[in-house]
Each structure stands twice: as C-alpha cells, then as structure tokens.
Structure 1
Amino acid sequence: MTSTHRPSDGVVTSGVGLFADALDAQAVGVNRVDWRPPMEGTEDDLVTVATDPLRLDANRRAVDAMTSTQAMVVDVAPASQLLGLERGQFLHAGPPLKWENASGPMRGALQGAAALEGLVDDPEDAVALFESGDSVSLEPCHHHSAVGPMAGVVSPSMWMWVLEDQTDGRRTYCTLNEGLGKVLRYGAYSPEVLQRLRWMSDVLGPLLGQAVRATGPIDATGILTQMLQMGDEAHNRNRAGTLMLLRDIAPALAQSGADAKDIAEVFSFVGGNDHFFLNIAMPACKLALDAARGIEGSTMVVAMARNGTEFGIQTAGTGDQWFTGPAQVAEGLYLGDYGPDDANPDIGDSAITETAGIGGFAMATAPAIVRFVGGSVPDALATSRRMREITIGENPRWSIPVLDFMGTPTGIDVSRVCRTGILPQINTGMAGRVAGVGQVGAGLVTPPANIFPAALSALAERTRARR
C-alpha cells in the first residue's frame, strides 16, 4: 500500500516505490518518506510515553547534561587502587553474567586474567576455579563506573585510565588498550598475551601515569572533537586520536627520567597501536552519559553493552535496570580463513561510543572505516543520517564535515526506536567463538529488537504510576 500527499512543491510518498517511480518518470517532484509501522505490541506504551508531561523536558535535560560534560584524563593507576578490587574479584563487559552462561572469549579472558593475578599457574586450570565460584566474583564494569572493550575483563593488577568531570568530580575508568589480534580482551591467553599484560602493568601503566600527572589534565572531549574531523569515528578508527594523545604526553615521557629503553618501548607500543585512544574514548562517553542517569521521564538510552551472550541497555528514566536480549553475530569482514561459524556473538562495552553518538553513528566522519568493517562509503553516509531519526538531538561539539557539519546524532530515544523500527548501528570487532583464539574479524551489528519494547514498557509503567 502506498499513501501520498501533494504539497505545493511536489508529492510526498510512503510505502512501496512503484507509484513514486512512476511520478519520477513523469518529471513530478517526489519526496519519498521511509515510513514504517511501530514495533509490534508497542502502540499503547508509545501513546502513554508520548503523553507523559515530563518527557520533553526530561529528554532535553538528559541531552544537555550529556553534551555539556567535559571529560579530562587525570591519572593512570591500578584497578586495585582505583576501584578497590581485591584478589579474586573480576569485572567484565556487558550486563550481569554468570560463568555457566559465559561465551568462549569471555571465558578465555577470565582464564587469562586469573593466571595474570597468580590464582592459577595455567589458564586452563582457571576453569575449575570459576566453576566452583568459591574464591572469585564477577561483576559488570558498568556497575563500577568503568567500561571495558570486548570481554572487558578487569583484574586488580591492571592499570586504568581515570577520566574526570572537573565540575562535579565524577569519574570513569577503563583499562589500557593491548592492540589487535591475539589479546586478552578477545579471549586469548597464550604466554605472549600474559607477558604483554605484565609489561603493561610494570612499565606502560606507571610511565603513562607519571606523564599524565606531569602534563596536567588532558582534554579527552576536545580530542574527540578534533579526531572526528580527521577521519576517526572513535570506535574502530582511533588513529588521529592516538597520535594527538601521544603528542600531548610525549614531552613528559621524554623528561620522566625513566630508562631510555622503557621510554622507547612505550613510544613504539602506543604509536603502533591505532586503537590505543579507544580506551579513553569509551570512558569519556560513559562519563557524559552517566550525567543523564536518573532523570525521571527521560526515554534516552545511557548505556548499550554486550557480554558475548546478552546485549543490554539502560535508560536515563529507569535507573540501573538492564533490558537484555540475545547478542547478535556481526556481519562483516573476516581475517585469514575465518568465517561466520568462527565468530562469537557481539561482545564489549565499546558500544558506549554509539550510545554517545559516535562510532557507528558517526561513520560518515570516517569513510575509510568501511574497509575494516564492510559496507561502502554511501552506506556510511546513509547510516549517520538514519541514526538521526532515532535520536533526540545533535551534539554541537562533535560534527560531521561531509554532512555540512551536522552534529552527531545524540541521545538514542527508546520511543523513536520503537516507533520507527530503526535499530542503532554499531561497528565492532569480532572475537573467536572458542576461548583462546582472539580476533577473527570486524563488522556491523545491531541490538536485538526486543530490548527496546521492554525498556519502553518499563518507562510507560513508571508514567502510569505517576498519574
């Protein structure tokens, strides 16, 4: 079925395209509208939320709180010191998870972290440790003001970035980026993986902490503003951001008085790891989104996260409640001989970047990213435009030059997702399904559709309770 409306300057059409094509052939001006029915079963809840007198102002305040946050890098220190993690305590990406439900890469990362902390000599022996659960605990990074890419595992000895909003003192945290390939966050735990992690705790973390403190607070939000205009989208492409960070800390590293060999290794490691800034972009986005938490009546999403088994979201108006569904396998490009059967379902807290309006939402800023995740340059431009249909506004700080400096789509609105059926676009790395394999590719993925009606229902219920 096709519906039409004839304004003074042409015809607006929605539905199947045959009628619009016929008008085009007759040189009649046509504006095609991609109208879709709302998600099934959401009609009543959409009406309830749409008529909530708090919603418009609550969403405005949520977006304002997010976009006015200035994230500053202020320190690098061990998780034991920052988060109070003790021996046997582990954090992970995504919503809450039990060992028996953990995917291969999540198990591999936890096994490697257990060996790193000296709980076992061989990562393979950690399976029995986690199965018993007697001396270990698992909690989401998000429950500790932290985020972790891919498996997102944090253990006490790992060093973490500290980001702060200096107007109110709020802080967020993230581990240091290991690079790509066979790394812990992708579930690998070979001897070279653990050796690299020990070097990061013994050399990299302390030198970065010393350099950050000597340099003074580093404006992460400002770097994000610049890198989005330099070909990065701050999820799977962070090359410009990494080099700007290295530029800022280089003088302090050179003057640190540390062993010249150690300084050279730090320069080489950071400079050779294009993803290094990702682990700053993520907590910068979380810091901004956390400013919007707890705003009654707001339908804005403040977290999207995956643990390799489930995909979960949280909203500004429903507190810390998770709405979850099965994580999806990304579609994209595979490394070597790997294929779809080798890939684990989506995993990681890095979708916090898309939640904040960058990453997959800002693919138009980074057309080169399509070579890494698949798709085409027109796809990237269309994605950024399409994401604007499910967001509350635009971020004036983060703009997209090729789209006439349009602000990045900001504030995913649960009600708009349910009304249009358009799901948030995420670009992501893919971990191997089997523990120990590491990265097998990168691609594009969306959340499971059912989690948005679930969140909408909870928001509608709160609205009804206030009436």
Structure 2
Amino acid sequence: ASRGDVRFSPCHHHGSVGPMAGIITASMPVFVVENRAHGNHAWSTINEGLGKALRYGANAPDVLDRLVWFRDVLGGALGEAIRRAGGVDVRALIAQALQMGDECHNRNRAASALLVKLLAPEVAALDLPPAERSRILAFAAGNEHFFLNLGMAACKTATDAAHGVSGSTLVTAMARNGTDFGIRVSGLGDRWFTAPALTPVGLYFPGFGPHDANPDIGDSAITETAGIGAFAMGGAPAIVQFVGGTPADALRATRRMYEITAGESRAYRLPALDFRGTPTGIDVRLVLQTSILPQINTGIAHREPGVGQIGAGIVTAPRDCFEAALEALAEAAK
C-alpha cells in the first residue's frame, strides 16, 4: 500500500458497507441487497463472527484460512441457497427480529436464527460433500452476527434512496474509520462532514480495558442511520449485557432518539413501546436544537493490529459533524 500498488477507498463510495475495518476486496463474496421500491442496490461481505476477525484487525493464520473458505466454498454455497429460496425479504426479517428482542446491530440472535432457518433446507439440498454442508450450517448457526452484514446492506439501500433531495437536512450515512467520524446529509451531495471519532464506553472482555481500545470504527452505524441499532435498543433489553447499562437505559436511549428524528418507521415497530415505529431520519437541525447526539451500539477493537475485538459499548456521533453540516446547509440555501 505504501508503494501505491493498493488503493484504499471508503465502502460507501462503492455502494457497500463493512463492519469495523470494513475491508472488501475483489476476492471476497458479498451479499447483494436490492431496494425494489427505488431500484438501488448495496453490498456487504459475509460476517466472520465475534472475536478474532479481519474486520477487527486480526490476521492470524486461522483468520486467513476462514476467509479462503469463504471465498472457495461458503460464498458460492450461500449464493445458491439464497437463489433456491427465492431470495430473502430482509426488511421483513428485520421487522420480525426487532419484535423478538434484537436491535439488529450488536444483537442479532433472532435475525441470525431466522436467516439460518430460512436457508438451512436449501443448504442441506446443495450438491456438496456432507462434511461441507455440515460445516456451513455449523458456522452459520454458531455465529450470532451472521445476519449483521446483510442487515447493514439493507439499511444502506434504504438511506441511499433518501439521498440527494435538495434542501433535505436528513442524515443518510454515518461512518467511522478509527480516526474520524463522518456524516453525509441528503441535501449536500457526496460531501463528508467529519470530526475525530470518540472511544466507546462499554464492557470489555477479560484482560482488556479502556486503555486498550481504539476509537470508534466501521460502517455499521448505517443501522442507526436507518432507525435500528441503538435507536431500537428499547426493544432489546438483553443488549445491555453486551454493551453495558440497564434495560431502563435502553428504553431511555430510544425515547431520546425520537427527539432528533423526522419520523417513525412504518416497518420496524417495538413491542416495548406499544408497537411504536422506531425513530427514523436523523435531522441535523434537531440534533443541534436539542443537543442530543445520535447514539450508536458498537464493538470495540484493540488499538493494536492483530488482536481483534476486545469488547462492546456505546458511543455518540461528534457534535462538530452536525455543526459543519448545518453551516453548509445554510450556505447552500443562500
């Protein structure tokens, strides 16, 4: 990379999203999600699972061997299984998972189980050696974040459809690269408004603590941008066992997000709030008027490469991003 042989570019610039380090290369199989109402698409890789994973900076032989298996076996098998199933209605799956205790960012147990349930019969029917079919099903069933990347791509198709509306103050992307946090605003084209990324506050795996943590990183904040993730954690009380806090904190967080959003989802509803739609459509003006910053559930990566995930927690978007965006909106309106 230092010689210029490899070029780096944000996933968002290519219609894609990647959790944490977000690496997508030409050899990686990806999920393709279509927004049939608007005709746009988004892409994301297959989730590797928790702990030591490439997206967290881990690069041990077992991590690389798993990626080779993704490329040579798993990607093609999942693609065929999805086609045999006639596709996956991702929005319907998210809606169901939200009513089963997920928030579809850091808690994907129900969503992943529903996806495995849908695809398992098709995987079992594939023309593969029994050992490979068993390995595929064991990997999917054992990965509680199996659904995450697919959900992220679905969220991107939704927010991209809202992008490019003249004068709109809605946020259509939030992303972090471990150094900076950036937002895109519907009415301001492809510009990013950035500020230093903050470090999450949360729970750490044994042997790690805040001094080991890297600042916030990844594209997975697209879930909050689309109205799920931390915006829906009021319906996912068990998430606090992973990111910290109490069920009351989770409810309070979701209720606060209604104060900075333009509306409520008609597709994603929370039983704990009498089936109220999730807060959706972050409005730059409301963020600054209320001084309430968008909240994000996130994994925590070690600040040194090769270690991987060391915990999970809560972080907010930096206020400076929204101030810069509002100034640009005011300038554009002149």
* TM-score tier after normalising by the smaller chain length: over 0.9
Inter-partner Cα distance in structure 2 for 1:413 and 1:237: 25
Instruction: Give the corresponding residue for 2:301.
Output: 431
Question: Among residues 402, 407, 413, which one is paired with 2:283 in the alignment?
Answer: 413
Instruction: Give the corresponding residue for 1:260.
Output: 130
In the comparison of the two structures, how many residue pairs are matched? 334
**Pair 1:398 & 2:268 matched:** yes
Q: What is the identity, as a one-letter code, of the residue corresponding to 2:60?
A: S
Question: Among residues 229, 237, 247, which one is paired with 1:377 in the alignment?
Answer: 247
**Pair 1:250 & 2:137 matched:** no
What is the CA distance between 1:170 and its match in structure 2? 1.4
**Pair 1:136 & 2:9 matched:** no
Inter-partner Cα distance in structure 2 for 1:235 and 1:201: 25
Q: Deviations over 1:277-320 (max 9, x none)?
A: 00111000000000011100110000000000100000111011
Instruction: Give the corresponding residue for 1:158.
Output: 28
Q: What is the identity, as a one-letter code, of the residue corresponding to 1:208?
A: L
Inter-partner Cα distance in structure 2 for 1:242 and 1:404: 25
Q: What is the identity, as a one-letter code, of the residue corresponding to 1:224?
A: I
What is the CA distance between 1:164 and its match in structure 2? 0.6
Inter-partner Cα distance in structure 1 for 2:34 and 2:277: 24
**Pair 1:145 & 2:15 matched:** yes
Q: What is the identity, as a one-letter code, of the residue corresponding to 2:303?
A: R
Structure 2 residue matching 1:218: 3-state secondary structure: coil
Inter-partner Cα distance in structure 1 for 2:98 and 2:88: 17
Q: What is the identity, as a one-letter code, of the residue corresponding to 2:48?
A: E
Structure 2 residue matching 1:153: 3-state secondary structure: coil
Instruction: Give the corresponding residue for 1:182.
Output: 52
What is the CA distance between 1:250 and its match in structure 2? 1.5
What is the CA distance between 1:168 and its match in structure 2? 4.2
Question: Among residues 170, 183, 189, which one is paired with 1:319 in the alignment?
Answer: 189
What is the CA distance between 1:396 and its match in structure 2? 1.5
Instruction: Give the corresponding residue for 1:234.
Output: 104
TM-score by length of 1: 0.71
What is the CA distance between 1:255 and its match in structure 2? 1.2
**Pair 1:290 & 2:181 matched:** no
Structure 1 residue ranges, 4+ long, deviating more than 2 angstroms after superposition: 166-169
What is the CA distance between 1:132 and its match in structure 2? 2.1
What is the CA distance between 1:166 and its match in structure 2? 2.5
Q: Deviations over 1:139-179 (max 9, x none)?
A: 00000000000000111111100001224431100000000
CA contact (8 A) 2:38 2:161 kept: no
Instruction: Give the corresponding residue for 1:87.
Output: none
Q: Percent identity?
A: 57
Question: Among residues 341, 360, 368, which one is paired with 2:211 in the alignment?
Answer: 341
- How well do the aligned residues superpose, as a CA RMSD in angstroms? 0.8
What is the CA distance between 1:243 and its match in structure 2? 1.0
* Unaligned runs of at least 5 residues, structure 1: 1-129
Structure 1 residue matching 2:8: 3-state secondary structure: strand
What is the CA distance between 1:376 and its match in structure 2? 0.7
Question: Among residues 302, 313, 316, which one is paired with 1:446 in the alignment?
Answer: 316
Inter-partner Cα distance in structure 1 for 2:66 and 2:60: 10
Inter-partner Cα distance in structure 2 for 1:260 and 1:170: 37
Structure 2 residue matching 1:378: 3-state secondary structure: helix
Inter-partner Cα distance in structure 1 for 2:202 and 2:36: 40
Inter-partner Cα distance in structure 2 for 1:345 and 1:168: 35
Question: Among residues 318, 331, 351, which one is paired with 2:201 in the alignment?
Answer: 331
Instruction: Give the corresponding residue for 1:350.
Output: 220
**Pair 1:222 & 2:111 matched:** no
Inter-partner Cα distance in structure 2 for 1:321 and 1:240: 36
Question: Among residues 125, 136, 143, which one is paired with 1:273 in the alignment?
Answer: 143
Instruction: Give the corresponding residue for 1:9.
Output: none
